[in-house]
Structure 1
Amino acid sequence: MVTSKGGQQFSDKHFIEQVFNTSIYNKCVIFILNMETVADPKVDTRTAEQIAIDEWLPVTSSRNAKWWYSAFHNVTAMVGAGVLSLPYALSELGWGFGITVLIMSWVITLYTLWQMVEMHEMVPGKRFDRYHELGQHAFGERLGLFIVVPQQLVVEVGTCIVYMVTGGKSLQKFQQSVCPNCKPMRTTYFILIFSSVHFVLAHLPNFNSISIVSLAAAVMSLSYSIIAWAAALNRGATGDVDYGFKSNTPSGQMFGMFTALGEVAFAYAGHNVVLEIQATIPSTPEKPSKGPMWLGCVVAYIVVAICYFPVAIIGYYIFGNSVDDNILITLNHPRWLIAMANMFVVVHVIGGYQIYSMPVYDMIETFLVKSRKYKPSSILRFTVRTSFVASTTFIAITFPFFGGLLGFFGGFALAPTSYYLPCIIWLLVRKPARWSITWCINWICILIGVLLMILAPIGGLRSIIKSVGSYKFYS
């Protein structure tokens, strides 16, 4: 017999029946079912509204990409404006130190790229589809946003601005190559022509929708890199090539070296979109996305090495310290080949702009839809993306300083997000033993990245200030 608080007595059988009829039992069943659902990553626990929003947002709307999507997206993201400045970076760093920096950057960023691919699904049943989501997991909800989002935005918006400048100047160089006797046009007009393409392409909804553009961009990056070093090699070195530093003063050499470090860092920018690219690849517990993603990254880094090292070494060998901050500007002959290379650059930076702008669109649209409760619509998307393209166009027209922008953005934001932030997150979430090989490697990468972050922006900012002093605006 069981006695209740009110003194009423029940038989054991009657008591069990009463318990089974209470809401407590129902709540227990619901709790157990929810626990089973959480434990099973195959069960989608999102509401219908959340699913609809995720299917509308650029990063999570499509998950049917293959490993080769990862390959050419990463090539498009990595090989870009940065490769054109590598001979100039070597001229500021010198042979020994310059090649050492190039090799170390390739190795370090490949390692940190592997870390990010591995951490994409470190929590069973959850995918960190965006860089800031990984940061939130490591640092906390609010602190993760404050640490990652500003740096990622600086990288992505800065890269889009640099690509606006690169595209405009490459179009200008193309016009000068095919029609040397034509009346010169202002750089401003060429940037506006280049930006007009993006006012159309910006409205492609997600990463997979820009796959053709990205593939064409990846092919173009390999093509103009080969043209750059092949044309330089065909020209041959003259007898008076000077391999000394560009500046004759110690301070000038120091600041030039700082700028060059930022230019090298800018050449390895793919980490800022790697999680967003991986988010487009399907994943199951049996076949996680990290397999095809890493295969694509390895292929991409082989292409990066094929592009970067010949351009940097041959370009510096042929021109010495007389090379411009964009090697295609230094090359003038044969005109038809240089014109072709510059047009390849235009096609590539069109794809590169789309790769780097897509996560920005995703951030803005996510904020407006999830936080501000705007309804997902084509009008909202049109407004956001058109405004972004217009803003980057305006800034590019105002500050078209290629080398200085590379150095500043390369050190200020690319060094943290590509060189050491993945290592910090790895140490926090994986917790390797102190003084183990992994622990030491991560701390070495962190120290190198911090040095880049401190030194490179100083040189880049000085270069921009010098350019502003000598530049005729809207020329």
Structure 2
Amino acid sequence: MDLQKNGSALSLEAEESGSPCKNFDDDGREKRTGTLLTASAHIITAVIGSGVLSLAWANAQLGWVAGPIVLLVFSAITWLMSTLLADCYRSPDPVTGKRNYTYMDVVRANLGEGKQQLCGIAQYGNLIGITVGYTITASISMAAVERSNCFHRNGHSAKCSPSNNPFMIIFASIQIVLSQIPNFHKLWFLSIIAAIMSFAYSSIGLGLSVSKIAEADHHVRTTLTGVTVGMDVTDKEKVWRTLQSIGNIAFAYAFSTVLIEIQDTLKSSPPENKVMKKATFIGVATTTIFYMLCGCLGYAAFGNNAPGNFLTGFGFYDPFWLIDLANIFIAVHLIGAYQVFAQPVYQFIEKWANSRWPDSAFLAAEYTGNLPLCGAYNISYFRLIWRTVYVILTVILAMIFPFFNDFVGLLGACGFWPLTVYFPTEMYMAHQKIKRFSPTWICLKMLTWVCLIVSLGAAAGSVQGLVKSVMSYKPFQTQY
């Protein structure tokens, strides 16, 4: 193996020379090749995640009226805030200004270092939580395949309760390998595969829902207001579940934290903000259609007794192979989605380490090795060690708190207001120099406060559910 030159040194050399180079962009970095297609795939991969599995349950808590309305409202807010954020990628001009490579860079450029530190706590805490949540969900799906096959082999009366923990370890092993992909720009193929998987398992879920609804003996109870007090739940449970369901829906649209990183993969022509707005519209509109179908048809199929994960509600019997296929697709999708959310964490820590110890040979050194079917590949020992440790830590957290709906609801509630609403509106107003008390300023401020109140309520409901689950759970022992 030969010690390779640092890529940033080559970029700087090209930039200082002033000579045009087709291999580098206007900032001296390796030329970006992202398109509307790849950006849309990244967005769909990030948005359609484990959140889709809880939408039938969320609809059951809210009912036929509030359920679809809340879903559409969150969709509209997510799309609006994403368009505002897309204009902040370059500063001060949205087309020709200086690039901001990460969400935190955008916050620093528009709001200063104080707000950047607050944003960092919220963003990276949310990203870490999402990777833990995806580990939980992927292991549930992998265990569901094992359980289904167990029933098929041994009969419906067999005791089939596989632990999720071994599947978390398998998922982590795959992530350790994929985490060695150097940067976000190299993930386009993984995102396209994951986007296809998300469409596939959502379609299977929709098909199974339609089939269940069409059954002659299908009789489930659905209501305009969801689960009924005194019949399905107590009055307190109704309140807590309603709040938690809002958090679940918020989580289903959690992708603002990686929007800037996705935008930074785009070619500079046409302007990145214009392409990103189109990609955002395609991604959010596509996922909203799937969400409405999954949430509404899932509720119609199961009624007020809709399970937390609607794919597991179809049972583990026949057609067992179709349920297996859907759960395999979920696992494959989350393998890619994990990387979409983990890469910003990796790059943040590596950037910080390089700035903290700029003369460290261990941090800067990269070696070239030949991998089967991949050819030459740059290996960094620091990247290998640090990213492996990160994956192991997320798996340990997932084993300690394997509560799907509670965890998903809490993540959605905690991440939605600061990262999807507050920072994008504040940055846009600063970037566009919106005057205080102007109609635009008033509308954005009102929206921010309303979303804050909703997020606090959703967080309270999810914390209540999490505490209730923790009280009856023994880590690494109880099957959940």
TM range (shorter): 0.7 to 0.9
1:179-190 matches, within 5 Å, as 179-180=150-151, 181=153, 184-190=161-167
2:190 is equivalent to residue 213 of structure 1: yes
Q: Report the alpha carbon displacement of residue 133 of structure 1 after superposing the two structures with TM.
A: 0.9
1:437-448 matches, within 5 Å, as 437-448=439-450
Q: Report the alpha carbon displacement of residue 146 of structure 1 after superposing the two structures with TM.
A: 1.6
1:323-362 matches, within 5 Å, as 323-332=306-315, 333-362=318-347
Per the alignment, residue 251 of structure 1 pairs with 236
Q: Report the alpha carbon displacement of residue 240 of structure 1 after superposing the two structures with TM.
A: 3.7
**Aligned-partner Cα distance in 2 for 1:242–1:104:** 22
SS of 1:94's equivalent in the other structure is helix
Per the alignment, residue 312 of structure 1 pairs with 295
Once structures 1 and 2 are overlaid, which stretch shifts more, 191-200 or 176-185? 176-185
Q: 2:61 corresponds to which letter in structure 1?
A: E
Q: 1:431 corresponds to which letter in structure 2?
A: K
Q: 2:164 corresponds to which letter in structure 1?
A: T
Distance 1:254 1:372, change over 3 A: farther
Unpaired segments ≥5 residues, structure 1: 1-42, 49-54
**Aligned-partner Cα distance in 1 for 2:295–2:70:** 12
- Equivalences, count: 420
**Aligned-partner Cα distance in 2 for 1:437–1:71:** 32
**Aligned-partner Cα distance in 2 for 1:448–1:226:** 34
Among candidates 342, 353, 376, match of residue 364 of structure 2: 376
2:164 is equivalent to residue 176 of structure 1: no
Per-residue displacement from partner, 1:350-378 (whole Å, max 9, x unpaired)?
Answer: 11000000000011001100133343230
Per the alignment, residue 103 of structure 2 pairs with 131
2:50 is equivalent to residue 75 of structure 1: no
Q: 1:214 corresponds to which letter in structure 2?
A: S
Whether the 8 Å CA contact 1:70–1:277 is kept in 2: the answer is yes
Q: 1:241 corresponds to which letter in structure 2?
A: R
Q: 1:314 corresponds to which letter in structure 2?
A: L
Q: Report the alpha carbon displacement of residue 179 of structure 1 after superposing the two structures with TM.
A: 3.1
Per-residue displacement from partner, 1:70-109 (whole Å, max 9, x unpaired)?
Answer: 0100000111001111111111222212211111110111
Given the two structures, how large is their TM-score scaled by the length of structure 1? 0.84
Once structures 1 and 2 are overlaid, which stretch shifts more, 62-71 or 435-444? 435-444
Once structures 1 and 2 are overlaid, which stretch shifts more, 242-251 or 113-122? 242-251
**Aligned-partner Cα distance in 2 for 1:67–1:371:** 36
SS of 2:100's equivalent in the other structure is coil
Q: Report the alpha carbon displacement of residue 184 of structure 1 after superposing the two structures with TM.
A: 3.7
Per the alignment, residue 21 of structure 2 pairs with none
Distance 1:154 1:193, change over 3 A: same
Unpaired segments ≥5 residues, structure 2: 1-11, 18-23, 155-159, 366-379
Among candidates 249, 257, 261, match of residue 272 of structure 1: 257
Per-residue displacement from partner, 1:147-191 (whole Å, max 9, x unpaired)?
Answer: 211111121111100000010000011122233146542111111
Whether the 8 Å CA contact 1:421–1:446 is kept in 2: the answer is no
Q: 1:430 corresponds to which letter in structure 2?
A: Q
1:30-69 matches, within 5 Å, as 63-69=32-38
**Aligned-partner Cα distance in 2 for 1:80–1:444:** 30
Whether the 8 Å CA contact 1:79–1:221 is kept in 2: the answer is yes
Whether the 8 Å CA contact 1:152–1:272 is kept in 2: the answer is yes
Whether the 8 Å CA contact 1:171–1:346 is kept in 2: the answer is yes
**Aligned-partner Cα distance in 2 for 1:145–1:432:** 20
Per the alignment, residue 22 of structure 1 pairs with none
**Aligned-partner Cα distance in 2 for 1:151–1:168:** 26
1:365-404 matches, within 5 Å, as 365-373=350-358, 374=360, 375-377=363-365, 378-404=380-406
Whether the 8 Å CA contact 2:220–2:302 is kept in 1: the answer is no
Distance 1:234 1:440, change over 3 A: farther
SS of 2:99's equivalent in the other structure is coil
Structure showing greater Rg = 1
1:139-158 matches, within 5 Å, as 139-141=111-113, 143-158=114-129
Larger % of helix: which?
A: 1
Among candidates 82, 102, 106, match of residue 75 of structure 2: 106
2:63 is equivalent to residue 94 of structure 1: yes
Q: 1:90 corresponds to which letter in structure 2?
A: N
Distance 1:422 1:335, change over 3 A: same
**Aligned-partner Cα distance in 1 for 2:434–2:327:** 47
Q: Report the alpha carbon displacement of residue 212 of structure 1 after superposing the two structures with TM.
A: 1.5
Per the alignment, residue 368 of structure 2 pairs with none
SS of 1:269's equivalent in the other structure is coil
Q: 2:134 corresponds to which letter in structure 1?
A: Y
Per the alignment, residue 31 of structure 1 pairs with none
Per the alignment, residue 456 of structure 2 pairs with 454
Whether the 8 Å CA contact 1:424–1:446 is kept in 2: the answer is no
Whether the 8 Å CA contact 1:162–1:406 is kept in 2: the answer is yes
Per the alignment, residue 410 of structure 2 pairs with 408
Whether the 8 Å CA contact 1:206–1:358 is kept in 2: the answer is yes
Q: Report the alpha carbon displacement of residue 435 of structure 1 after superposing the two structures with TM.
A: 5.2
Distance 1:366 1:248, change over 3 A: same
Per the alignment, residue 241 of structure 1 pairs with 221
SS of 2:271's equivalent in the other structure is coil
Per the alignment, residue 166 of structure 1 pairs with 137
Q: 1:289 corresponds to which letter in structure 2?
A: E
Whether the 8 Å CA contact 2:133–2:404 is kept in 1: the answer is yes
Per the alignment, residue 322 of structure 1 pairs with 305
Given the two structures, how large is their TM-score scaled by the length of structure 2? 0.83
Q: Report the alpha carbon displacement of residue 393 of structure 1 after superposing the two structures with TM.
A: 0.7
Q: 1:259 corresponds to which letter in structure 2?
A: Q
Whether the 8 Å CA contact 1:160–1:392 is kept in 2: the answer is yes
Whether the 8 Å CA contact 2:41–2:192 is kept in 1: the answer is yes
Whether the 8 Å CA contact 2:222–2:300 is kept in 1: the answer is no
Among candidates 417, 424, 443, match of residue 426 of structure 2: 424
The Cα RMSD (Å) is 2.2
**Aligned-partner Cα distance in 1 for 2:167–2:461:** 27
SS of 1:129's equivalent in the other structure is coil
2:278 is equivalent to residue 295 of structure 1: yes
Per the alignment, residue 17 of structure 1 pairs with none
SS of 1:327's equivalent in the other structure is coil
Sequence identity (%): 29
